[in-house]
Structure 1
Protein backbone atom coordinates (compact mmCIF):
# COMPACT_ATOMS: atom_id res chain seq x y z
CA UNK A 1 0.00 0.00 0.00
CA UNK A 2 2.99 2.27 0.56
CA UNK A 3 3.85 2.35 -3.17
CA UNK A 4 0.25 3.33 -3.93
CA UNK A 5 0.51 6.32 -1.61
CA UNK A 6 3.80 7.33 -3.23
CA UNK A 7 2.12 7.38 -6.64
CA UNK A 8 -0.80 9.56 -5.51
CA UNK A 9 1.20 12.79 -5.29
CA UNK A 10 2.77 12.64 -8.75
CA UNK A 11 -0.52 11.44 -10.24
CA UNK A 12 -2.35 14.41 -8.75
CA UNK A 13 0.30 16.79 -10.11
CA UNK A 14 -0.11 15.29 -13.58
CA UNK A 15 -3.90 15.51 -13.33
CA UNK A 16 -3.66 19.21 -12.45
CA UNK A 17 -1.31 19.84 -15.37
CA UNK A 18 -3.59 17.92 -17.74
CA UNK A 19 -6.66 19.80 -16.51
CA UNK A 20 -4.88 23.15 -16.93
CA UNK A 21 -3.73 22.18 -20.42
CA UNK A 22 -7.29 21.29 -21.40
CA UNK A 23 -8.55 24.67 -20.14
CA UNK A 24 -5.89 26.44 -22.20
CA UNK A 25 -6.88 24.38 -25.24
CA UNK A 26 -10.57 25.21 -24.75
CA UNK A 27 -10.07 28.93 -24.19
CA UNK A 28 -7.03 29.91 -26.23
CA UNK A 29 -5.94 27.27 -28.72
CA UNK A 30 -9.10 25.80 -30.26
CA UNK A 31 -10.95 29.05 -31.08
CA UNK A 32 -7.90 30.56 -32.78
CA UNK A 33 -6.98 27.38 -34.63
CA UNK A 34 -10.49 26.86 -35.95
CA UNK A 35 -10.75 30.53 -36.97
CA UNK A 36 -7.49 30.16 -38.89
CA UNK A 37 -8.71 26.96 -40.57
CA UNK A 38 -11.96 28.69 -41.54
CA UNK A 39 -9.94 31.46 -43.19
CA UNK A 40 -7.67 28.98 -44.98
CA UNK A 41 -10.48 26.67 -46.15
CA UNK A 42 -13.56 28.80 -46.91
CA UNK A 43 -15.45 25.74 -48.20
CA UNK A 44 -15.41 24.33 -44.65
CA UNK A 45 -15.82 27.63 -42.78
CA UNK A 46 -19.39 26.68 -41.83
CA UNK A 47 -17.93 23.89 -39.67
CA UNK A 48 -16.01 26.33 -37.45
CA UNK A 49 -18.63 26.73 -34.73
CA UNK A 50 -19.90 23.13 -34.68
CA UNK A 51 -16.30 21.88 -34.52
CA UNK A 52 -15.53 24.31 -31.71
CA UNK A 53 -18.61 23.24 -29.73
CA UNK A 54 -17.82 19.56 -30.30
CA UNK A 55 -14.19 20.00 -29.25
CA UNK A 56 -15.05 21.96 -26.12
CA UNK A 57 -17.65 19.39 -25.04
CA UNK A 58 -15.25 16.50 -25.64
CA UNK A 59 -12.54 18.21 -23.60
CA UNK A 60 -15.09 19.01 -20.91
CA UNK A 61 -15.83 15.29 -20.71
CA UNK A 62 -12.14 14.63 -20.12
CA UNK A 63 -12.15 17.30 -17.40
CA UNK A 64 -15.10 15.63 -15.66
CA UNK A 65 -13.22 12.32 -15.71
CA UNK A 66 -10.18 14.07 -14.21
CA UNK A 67 -12.27 15.54 -11.36
CA UNK A 68 -13.89 12.17 -10.65
CA UNK A 69 -10.48 10.49 -10.69
CA UNK A 70 -9.21 13.12 -8.24
CA UNK A 71 -12.09 12.33 -5.87
CA UNK A 72 -11.42 8.59 -6.16
CA UNK A 73 -7.75 9.16 -5.40
CA UNK A 74 -8.79 10.90 -2.21
CA UNK A 75 -10.87 7.86 -1.31
CA UNK A 76 -7.88 5.59 -2.00
CA UNK A 77 -5.71 7.71 0.28
CA UNK A 78 -8.34 7.56 3.05
CA UNK A 79 -8.82 3.80 2.48
CA UNK A 80 -12.49 4.33 1.60
CA UNK A 81 -12.38 3.22 -2.03
CA UNK A 82 -14.28 0.01 -1.29
CA UNK A 83 -17.44 1.83 -0.24
CA UNK A 84 -20.74 2.75 -1.84
CA UNK A 85 -19.61 6.38 -2.03
CA UNK A 86 -17.03 5.44 -4.68
CA UNK A 87 -19.76 4.34 -7.08
CA UNK A 88 -21.03 7.90 -7.48
CA UNK A 89 -17.68 8.89 -8.97
CA UNK A 90 -17.19 5.70 -10.98
CA UNK A 91 -20.70 6.00 -12.44
CA UNK A 92 -19.96 9.62 -13.37
CA UNK A 93 -16.83 8.46 -15.18
CA UNK A 94 -18.70 5.73 -17.05
CA UNK A 95 -21.57 8.01 -18.12
CA UNK A 96 -19.21 10.81 -19.12
CA UNK A 97 -17.07 8.48 -21.19
CA UNK A 98 -20.17 6.98 -22.81
CA UNK A 99 -21.43 10.46 -23.67
CA UNK A 100 -18.08 11.41 -25.19
CA UNK A 101 -18.07 8.17 -27.17
CA UNK A 102 -21.56 8.78 -28.59
CA UNK A 103 -20.55 12.29 -29.67
CA UNK A 104 -17.36 10.92 -31.21
CA UNK A 105 -19.31 8.24 -33.07
CA UNK A 106 -21.62 10.94 -34.42
CA UNK A 107 -18.61 12.94 -35.58
CA UNK A 108 -17.21 9.84 -37.25
CA UNK A 109 -20.46 9.33 -39.20
CA UNK A 110 -20.58 13.01 -40.16
CA UNK A 111 -16.95 13.10 -41.33
CA UNK A 112 -17.32 9.79 -43.19
CA UNK A 113 -20.17 11.25 -45.23
CA UNK A 114 -18.45 14.60 -45.75
CA UNK A 115 -14.87 13.45 -46.44
CA UNK A 116 -14.29 11.79 -49.81
CA UNK A 117 -10.91 10.21 -48.97
CA UNK A 118 -10.34 7.36 -46.53
CA UNK A 119 -7.67 9.05 -44.36
CA UNK A 120 -9.63 10.99 -41.75
CA UNK A 121 -12.56 8.54 -41.51
CA UNK A 122 -10.17 5.63 -40.93
CA UNK A 123 -8.32 7.62 -38.27
CA UNK A 124 -11.60 8.53 -36.58
CA UNK A 125 -12.76 4.92 -36.79
CA UNK A 126 -9.65 3.90 -34.85
CA UNK A 127 -10.38 6.56 -32.23
CA UNK A 128 -14.01 5.43 -31.99
CA UNK A 129 -12.89 1.81 -31.48
CA UNK A 130 -10.40 2.89 -28.81
CA UNK A 131 -13.07 4.95 -27.07
CA UNK A 132 -15.48 2.02 -27.12
CA UNK A 133 -12.83 -0.22 -25.58
CA UNK A 134 -12.21 2.34 -22.82
CA UNK A 135 -15.92 2.67 -22.01
CA UNK A 136 -16.37 -1.10 -21.83
CA UNK A 137 -13.19 -1.44 -19.77
CA UNK A 138 -14.57 1.09 -17.27
CA UNK A 139 -17.78 -0.92 -17.03
CA UNK A 140 -15.75 -4.06 -16.26
CA UNK A 141 -13.67 -2.13 -13.71
CA UNK A 142 -16.88 -0.92 -12.08
CA UNK A 143 -18.08 -4.51 -11.79
CA UNK A 144 -14.75 -5.49 -10.21
CA UNK A 145 -15.06 -2.62 -7.75
CA UNK A 146 -18.57 -3.85 -6.89
CA UNK A 147 -17.26 -7.36 -6.20
CA UNK A 148 -14.38 -6.05 -4.09
CA UNK A 149 -16.74 -3.76 -2.15
CA UNK A 150 -19.08 -6.66 -1.44
CA UNK A 151 -16.16 -8.86 -0.34
CA UNK A 152 -14.86 -6.09 1.93
CA UNK A 153 -18.32 -5.65 3.46
CA UNK A 154 -18.53 -9.41 4.04
CA UNK A 155 -15.09 -9.45 5.65
CA UNK A 156 -15.96 -6.48 7.87
CA UNK A 157 -19.12 -8.28 8.95
CA UNK A 158 -17.16 -11.40 9.87
CA UNK A 159 -14.49 -9.48 11.76
Structure 2
Protein backbone atom coordinates (compact mmCIF):
# COMPACT_ATOMS: atom_id res chain seq x y z
CA UNK A 1 0.00 0.00 0.00
CA UNK A 2 1.35 3.42 -0.90
CA UNK A 3 2.46 5.67 1.93
CA UNK A 4 0.18 8.52 0.75
CA UNK A 5 -2.83 6.19 0.90
CA UNK A 6 -1.93 5.09 4.42
CA UNK A 7 -1.47 8.66 5.65
CA UNK A 8 -4.71 9.80 4.01
CA UNK A 9 -6.69 6.92 5.49
CA UNK A 10 -5.19 7.50 8.93
CA UNK A 11 -6.10 11.19 8.69
CA UNK A 12 -9.69 10.31 7.77
CA UNK A 13 -9.87 7.82 10.64
CA UNK A 14 -8.44 10.36 13.09
CA UNK A 15 -10.96 12.97 11.96
CA UNK A 16 -13.83 10.51 12.30
CA UNK A 17 -12.68 9.61 15.82
CA UNK A 18 -12.39 13.27 16.78
CA UNK A 19 -15.77 14.01 15.23
CA UNK A 20 -17.44 11.14 17.05
CA UNK A 21 -15.90 12.29 20.34
CA UNK A 22 -17.20 15.80 19.69
CA UNK A 23 -20.66 14.38 19.05
CA UNK A 24 -20.48 12.41 22.30
CA UNK A 25 -19.38 15.45 24.31
CA UNK A 26 -21.41 18.21 22.61
CA UNK A 27 -24.34 16.77 20.67
CA UNK A 28 -25.56 13.94 22.92
CA UNK A 29 -26.05 16.30 25.91
CA UNK A 30 -27.95 18.65 23.59
CA UNK A 31 -30.17 15.79 22.43
CA UNK A 32 -30.74 14.87 26.08
CA UNK A 33 -31.86 18.43 26.80
CA UNK A 34 -34.06 18.55 23.69
CA UNK A 35 -35.90 15.42 24.80
CA UNK A 36 -37.06 16.84 28.15
CA UNK A 37 -40.71 16.64 27.04
CA UNK A 38 -40.52 12.91 26.29
CA UNK A 39 -40.91 10.01 28.70
CA UNK A 40 -37.79 9.51 30.81
CA UNK A 41 -37.35 5.85 29.79
CA UNK A 42 -37.58 6.70 26.09
CA UNK A 43 -35.13 9.55 26.59
CA UNK A 44 -32.60 7.32 28.35
CA UNK A 45 -33.00 4.58 25.74
CA UNK A 46 -32.60 6.95 22.79
CA UNK A 47 -29.48 8.70 24.09
CA UNK A 48 -27.93 5.41 25.25
CA UNK A 49 -28.52 3.81 21.86
CA UNK A 50 -26.99 6.81 20.09
CA UNK A 51 -23.97 6.75 22.42
CA UNK A 52 -23.45 3.02 21.86
CA UNK A 53 -23.79 3.51 18.10
CA UNK A 54 -20.97 6.06 18.27
CA UNK A 55 -18.87 3.58 20.25
CA UNK A 56 -19.41 1.05 17.44
CA UNK A 57 -18.13 3.62 14.95
CA UNK A 58 -15.09 4.28 17.13
CA UNK A 59 -14.31 0.58 17.50
CA UNK A 60 -14.47 0.12 13.73
CA UNK A 61 -12.20 3.14 13.16
CA UNK A 62 -9.61 1.88 15.66
CA UNK A 63 -9.63 -1.63 14.18
CA UNK A 64 -9.25 -0.27 10.66
CA UNK A 65 -6.37 1.91 11.90
CA UNK A 66 -4.65 -1.24 13.21
CA UNK A 67 -5.31 -3.12 9.97
CA UNK A 68 -3.88 -0.23 7.94
CA UNK A 69 -0.80 -0.25 10.17
CA UNK A 70 -0.48 -4.00 9.59
CA UNK A 71 -0.80 -3.45 5.84
CA UNK A 72 1.91 -0.80 5.99
CA UNK A 73 4.18 -3.30 7.75
CA UNK A 74 3.21 -6.01 5.22
CA UNK A 75 1.73 -8.05 8.08
CA UNK A 76 -1.97 -7.91 7.23
CA UNK A 77 -1.93 -11.43 5.77
CA UNK A 78 -1.40 -13.00 9.16
CA UNK A 79 -3.58 -14.64 11.79
CA UNK A 80 -3.28 -11.49 13.92
CA UNK A 81 -5.49 -9.58 11.51
CA UNK A 82 -8.47 -11.82 12.22
CA UNK A 83 -9.16 -10.42 15.68
CA UNK A 84 -9.46 -6.91 14.21
CA UNK A 85 -11.66 -8.06 11.35
CA UNK A 86 -13.85 -10.08 13.72
CA UNK A 87 -14.17 -7.04 16.00
CA UNK A 88 -15.20 -4.91 13.02
CA UNK A 89 -17.87 -7.45 12.09
CA UNK A 90 -19.20 -7.55 15.66
CA UNK A 91 -19.27 -3.73 15.89
CA UNK A 92 -21.12 -3.40 12.58
CA UNK A 93 -23.67 -6.03 13.62
CA UNK A 94 -24.13 -4.20 16.93
CA UNK A 95 -24.65 -0.93 15.03
CA UNK A 96 -27.28 -2.62 12.85
CA UNK A 97 -29.13 -3.89 15.93
CA UNK A 98 -28.89 -0.45 17.56
CA UNK A 99 -30.24 1.19 14.40
CA UNK A 100 -33.18 -1.22 14.41
CA UNK A 101 -33.69 -0.42 18.11
CA UNK A 102 -33.91 3.31 17.33
CA UNK A 103 -36.47 2.56 14.61
CA UNK A 104 -38.46 0.47 17.07
CA UNK A 105 -38.41 3.33 19.58
CA UNK A 106 -39.82 5.62 16.88
CA UNK A 107 -42.76 3.33 15.99
CA UNK A 108 -45.25 4.43 18.67
CA UNK A 109 -44.38 8.13 18.36
CA UNK A 110 -45.54 10.85 16.04
CA UNK A 111 -42.75 10.18 13.54
CA UNK A 112 -43.98 9.50 10.02
CA UNK A 113 -44.10 5.77 9.18
CA UNK A 114 -41.90 6.43 6.14
CA UNK A 115 -39.14 7.76 8.38
CA UNK A 116 -39.37 4.69 10.58
CA UNK A 117 -39.18 2.54 7.45
CA UNK A 118 -36.10 4.40 6.28
CA UNK A 119 -34.39 3.81 9.65
CA UNK A 120 -35.27 0.10 9.48
CA UNK A 121 -33.82 0.04 5.93
CA UNK A 122 -30.66 1.69 7.29
CA UNK A 123 -30.45 -1.10 9.88
CA UNK A 124 -30.82 -3.68 7.12
CA UNK A 125 -28.18 -1.95 4.99
CA UNK A 126 -25.82 -1.83 7.97
CA UNK A 127 -26.32 -5.57 8.42
CA UNK A 128 -25.48 -5.93 4.74
CA UNK A 129 -22.21 -4.10 5.32
CA UNK A 130 -21.42 -6.65 8.04
CA UNK A 131 -22.02 -9.42 5.53
CA UNK A 132 -19.68 -7.75 3.04
CA UNK A 133 -16.98 -7.67 5.73
CA UNK A 134 -17.65 -11.38 6.42
CA UNK A 135 -16.99 -12.07 2.72
CA UNK A 136 -13.82 -9.97 2.91
CA UNK A 137 -12.78 -11.97 5.97
CA UNK A 138 -13.14 -15.20 4.00
CA UNK A 139 -10.89 -13.70 1.32
CA UNK A 140 -8.37 -12.85 4.04
CA UNK A 141 -8.51 -16.48 5.24
CA UNK A 142 -7.71 -17.67 1.72
CA UNK A 143 -4.90 -15.13 1.36
CA UNK A 144 -3.34 -16.21 4.67
CA UNK A 145 -3.58 -19.86 3.63
CA UNK A 146 -2.00 -19.11 0.27
CA UNK A 147 0.78 -17.10 1.88
CA UNK A 148 1.47 -19.91 4.33
CA UNK A 149 1.68 -22.39 1.47
CA UNK A 150 3.97 -20.07 -0.46
CA UNK A 151 6.21 -19.61 2.60
CA UNK A 152 6.49 -23.40 2.88
CA UNK A 153 7.49 -23.69 -0.77
CA UNK A 154 10.09 -20.96 -0.52
TM-score by length of 2: 0.91
Structure showing greater relative contact order (alpha-carbon pairs closer than 8 Å, 6 or more residues apart): 2
Instruction: Name the CA distance, whole Å, in 1 between partners of 2:125 and 2:104.
Output: 16
Q: How many residues align?
A: 153
Instruction: Name the CA distance, whole Å, in 2 between partners of 1:62 and 1:123.
Output: 20
Alpha-carbon distance, 1:45 to partner: 4.5
Instruction: Name the CA distance, whole Å, in 2 between partners of 1:126 and 1:89.
Output: 27
Residue 25 of structure 2 is aligned to residue 27 of structure 1:
yes
1:127 to 101, 122, 126: 122
Residue 7 of structure 2 is aligned to residue 9 of structure 1:
yes
Instruction: Name the CA distance, whole Å, in 2 between partners of 1:110 and 1:50.
Output: 8
Aligned to 1:38: 35
Equivalent residues of 2:31, 2:47 under 8 A apart? no
Aligned to 2:92: 97
Cα RMSD (Å):
1.6
Unaligned stretches of 5+ residues in structure 2 = none
Deviates more, 1:112-121 or 1:7-16: 112-121
Aligned to 1:77: 72
Question: After the TM superposition, which segments of 4 or more aligned residues of structure 1 sit over 4 Å from their partners?
Answer: none
Matches within 5 A, 1:111-126: 111-115=106-110, 117-126=112-121
1:126 and 1:5, CA in 2 relative to 1: closer, same or farther beyond 3 A?
same
Equivalent residues of 2:64, 2:84 under 8 A apart? yes
Unaligned stretches of 5+ residues in structure 1 = none
Instruction: Name the CA distance, whole Å, in 2 between partners of 1:97 and 1:138.
Output: 9
Deviation track 1:79-114 (CA, whole Å, cap 9, x = no partner) reads 000000000111111111112212222332332344
